[in-house]
Structure 1
Amino acid sequence: MASMYRLVMNESIKMVKKKRLLVVLLILASIIPMFAYAQMKVAENSLKQFGTTDWRAEQRQKITDYTRRLSSARLPDEWKQRIQVEVKVAQYYLDKDVNPASPNGVTFTVEFVRNAVGLLIPLMIMVIAADIVSGEHTGGTIKLLLTRPVPRWKVLLSKLITLILFASVVVVATALLSYLISGLFFGYGGWSAPRLFGFSVTGTEVDFSKVRVVEQWFYLLLELGLVWFAAVTVALMSLMISVLVRTTAAGMGIMLAVLISGTILTNMVSSWETAKYFFMVNLDLTDYLSGSTPPIKGMDLPFSLSVLSVWVLLSVLVSFTVFTKKDVLN
């Protein structure tokens, strides 16, 4: 246990010295104010349009606009299905008298994290994790690392634990910075605001039987738990790629291509059902809480969690198998 602690500490120190976590935090601190300002301008424009801060008027207008779009013959069927679901969910919020987007720091954090889990947070994780093993080859320290009187599996396990720790830091930092910065624009309230979750979407049908009202702090915790799971999945996939390739550039390039292709697939392949088994298509776990239409038929929260779990297990198995047998002399 003591040796593992020292190994993890050593990996953590190396990770901090690379200053990539600092870069990630600076990126977040730079872009979050832009999103918060944009959200504030949207609220101001809504006030000008409706002449009131009553969210119900905006919600009714949203339903009206969506309904008009459904009458367009040029709209693809898959988009019609999504809009029909949006209309039903919006009407349900109106019927239950629950504001889905009350202007406060907690609501902004919930929405920002929900939109960041599909690409932004995975990219941040990739930046930190992509060279955790391949960087040893690039720096020429791999031989020194593996000639120490420590089993190879322990060395890799320490790197795995370090990645999980730093992925957790990224998720917590994203939520914390979102709340602290957006609070300057919208205030720091909203913890006890009501929030609906438990929507079950199948095609154009929405099952409201399991929907329940919870306080927003609880909803945020649920959301962060799902985001953390997605972040750890990306971290362990990056670890596998870093073990399989010998250069940092190759590892980052592969993960970047995979993550971006996942975003494209999510928006374009609703008719290709096999794509739902790709891990990157299942990263948007928080959409299941808000009642969004799944990108591909047959997907739901248990399915996506199961797919990601299988990918995690396979990536760990491949990583340890290859790393323990890897020839570092050539």
Structure 2
Amino acid sequence: MLKLIQNENMKIYYRIGTWVMVILLLIAVIGMGIFVKTTSDENDNWQVAVQTDIKRLQAQKEKTESFKFMNEEVLKSYDRQIEIKEYRLANNIPPLPADSFWGFINESSNLTSFVTLFTIVIAAGMVASEFSWGTIKLLLIRPVSRSKILLSKYLSTLLFAFSLLAVLFLSSALTGGLLFGFDSVSQPHLTYTDGAVKEVGMLQNMIGIYGLNSVDLVILSTFAFMMSSVFRSSSLAIGLSIFLMFIGPQISNLLRNYEWSKYILFANTNLRQYIDGIPFMEGMTMTFSISVLIGYFVIFVSLSWLAFTKRDVTA
């Protein structure tokens, strides 16, 4: 199996396009760093800004309470934000600005969409390219089961995805340190758990953010891989996957008034909604969303396996 994975990795990294993707990601990180550096304003009086935010949140909470059909999760979200800001004032812990070491790493987490996009391109060609290049028969005459061949391709896709994610994190840390210094390295992150505000390590928080952001990465990469295996067309797999990547969340929001919409894939991919936001629908929990995601994952993988192992090959 390790030999198969090594061979698939060689196919990925011997392509010029793969390294173009890595370079584009690095350019995006550096470009974002320069943009933040040149546009950020100094705000020494952060206490006033936090106090203003507290008053604004309290006013919004009172307005929400007056609604006939108010969402309890919205009120809880306001309470969490207010308590965190009050704790920040009481303990003299300033907010994390974008032009700081951890602040920039946090901002760069938005670039996981680039990682997802690039991984979709790789995943879409893992199986389909073997047919378009006419190498599929040479691959299948080896004394190795089709299941192992498919698994090696899928694992290589995930290895590429998380390698690119690691490049994003490390390049963001390096860029953030060089442009903004390391003064905020020891600053804690404030989180609201078990009915109280708690301080946690910023590294732990950032790993959590990048980890939760990678849910889309894994699901969409698996979908593109499935499309590549089922239809043997990389262009179809790339096109449909990118379409769902950008349009899927909007479709989910349009249908959120229907009870069944909570089972839509993109209503569950944003797990950060359970930590620092409002759930897609009242009553939804992280356990529920993870269960739905596992269901979709099993379907995608099963279809990939059936298409690759059961159908006749005609290259």
- Place the TM-score, normalised by the shorter chain, in its bin: 0.7 to 0.9
**In the aligned structure 1, how far is the partner of 2:16 from the partner of 2:231?**
22
Shift of 1:136: 1.1
Return the alpha-carbon distance in structure 2 between the equivalents of residues 34 and 60 of structure 1: 33
What amino acid is the match of 1:6?
K
Structure 1 residue 281: Cα displacement? 3.1
Structure 1 alignment gaps of length 5 or more: 200-207
C-alpha displacement at 1:32, in angstroms?
2.2
Question: C-alpha distance in 2, partners of 1:259/1:272?
Answer: 21
Which residue of structure 2 aligns with residue 177 of structure 1? 171
TM-score, with structure 1 as normaliser? 0.80
Partner letter of residue 178 of structure 1? Answer: S
Q: Using the alignment, how far apart are the partners of 2:38 and 2:79 within structure 1?
A: 27
Between stretches 251-260 and 183-192, larger displacement belongs to 183-192
- Match among 39, 49, 57 for residue 58 of structure 1: 49
The alpha carbon displacement at 1:178 in A equals 1.6
Q: CA offset at residue 280 of structure 1? A: 3.0
Counterpart among 23, 27, 39 of residue 24 in structure 2: 27
Following TM superposition, by how much is the alpha carbon of 1:7 offset from its aligned partner in structure 2, in angstroms? 0.8
Matched, 1:310 2:304: no
For the Cα contact (< 8 Å) 1:190–1:216, is it kept in 2? no
Query: What is residue 14 of structure 1 aligned with on the other side?
Result: 11
* Residue in 2 that maps onto 1:227: 213
1:196 aligns with 2:190: yes
Is there any run of 5+ residues in structure 2 with no aligned partner, and where? Answer: none
Partner deviation per Cα, 1:260-319 (whole Å, 9 max, x = no partner): 122313544432342332333322223433x11223333332222222222222222221
With over 3 angstroms needed to count, the CA separation of the structure-2 counterparts of 1:266 and 1:168, relative to structure 1, is same
Aligned 8 A contact 1:171 1:227 in 2: no
| TM-score normalised according to structure 2 size | 0.84
Q: Does 1:99 align with 2:94?
A: yes
Q: Does residue 288 of structure 1 match 2:274?
A: yes
Q: For 1:188, what is the secondary structure of its paired residue?
A: coil
Q: In the superposition, relative to structure 1, how do residues 122 and 307 fare at CA in structure 2: closer, same or farther (>3 Å)? A: farther
Provide the C-alpha distance between the structure 1 equivalents of 2:105 and 2:262, rounded to a whole number of angstroms: 28
Deviation at 1:80, TM superposition (A): 9.7
Deviation of 1:16 after TM superposition, in Å, equals: 0.7
Tell me, what secondary structure is at the counterpart of 2:174?
Answer: helix
Partner Cα distance (1:153, 1:77) in 2: 56
Q: 1:236-277, CA deviations, whole angstroms, 9 ceiling, x for partnerless residues?
A: 222111101122111101111111122313544432342332
What's the counterpart of residue 145 of structure 2?
A: 151
How many positions carry a matched residue from both structures? 308
Q: Distance in 1 between matches of 2:8 and 2:78?
A: 49
Distance 1:275 1:89, change over 3 A: same
Is the CA contact 1:85–1:292 (under 8 Å) kept in the aligned structure 2? no
Residue 27 of structure 1 and its aligned partner are, at CA, apart by 2.2
Q: State the partner residue of 1:205.
A: none
TM superposition outliers: structure 1 runs of 4+ over 4 Å: 63-73, 76-87
- Alpha-carbon offset, residue 189 of structure 1: 4.2
Same amino acid, percent of matched pairs? 26
Task: Say whether the 8 Å CA contact 2:87–2:197 is kept in structure 1.
Answer: no
Q: CA separation in 1, counterparts of 2:52 and 2:73? A: 17
How large is the Cα RMSD of the aligned pairs? 3.1
Q: Counterparts of 1:118-267 in structure 2 under 5 Å?
A: 119-198=113-192, 209=195, 211-267=197-253
1:314-329 aligned at under 5 Å gives the runs: 314-329=299-314
